[in-house]
Amino acid sequence: MISEIKVGPQTAADGAQVTARANKDGSLVVTSSHALYHEAGYRGAIFGAGNQAAQAVSVALATTYTGLMLYNPLGSGKILVPLKVKYALSVAPAAIATLGLIQGVQSAAPTGLTALTVRSSQIGNSITGAGVAYSAATIATPIWAMQLWDGFTAAALPSPTQPEDLGGLFQILPGGFLAIGALTAVTGLGSIYWEEISQ
């Protein structure tokens, strides 16, 4: 089967049927028509949550967790794909600290919960999605998933950091969680945005 691809630019009205566009070397021309997360956001599939007040992050791999955690409830029928994550210090740490992501899987829902409000990335849309976020929870023993920011001390604070784009690296299945973790005690505010995809 030969695919017809037209070389050069085209002009068409809404509803017109056109052929794909090619460069002079025959390669297919593909370009973004909107911002990176536009399609998923437009379809109401992106959600986010964040600490609304400074929050201590529990040390290392503690099961009595505090900080910012994204959990995918058992039976949700969704896969949560984290997009952006950020943690901003509000207090200088007392000891050297690295910041990263911890992960785990629960055979039952976590307990001891302090829930955060989940909102659609469409500001003004009241849907909440399947994923839930907590600033405190009792969880199964986590493991380190990824380090995000290098170690620092109060005497050598890190430069300001941009939100991390995880690029679809992680997919949280029902029963799984992903959370901000710290090697030693830190306090600040975190935020996370994710896309929800049907299984």
pLDDT at 154 (0 to 100): 65
CB-based contact 145:31 (threshold 8 Å): no
The pairing of strands 55-57 and 97-105 is: unpaired
Q: pLDDT tens digit string along 35-67?
A: 888 889 999 999 999 999 999 999 989 999 999
SS3 of 142-186: CEEEEEEEEEEECCECCCCCCCEECCCCCCECCCEEEEEEECCCE
**What rounded mean pLDDT belongs to the chain?**
90
Closest to 73 (Cα-Cα) out of 199, 195, 177, 181 = 177
pLDDT at 119 (0 to 100): 97
pLDDT at 34 (0 to 100): 81
Q: pLDDT tens digit string along 12-39?
A: 888 888 888 887 777 887 777 788 888 8
Q: pLDDT tens digit string along 143-162?
A: 999 999 877 766 666 667 78
Per domain, the residue ranges of the chain are 1-31, 45-198
Whole-angstrom Cα distance, residue 41 to residue 87? 22
Structure tokens at 187: 């306090």
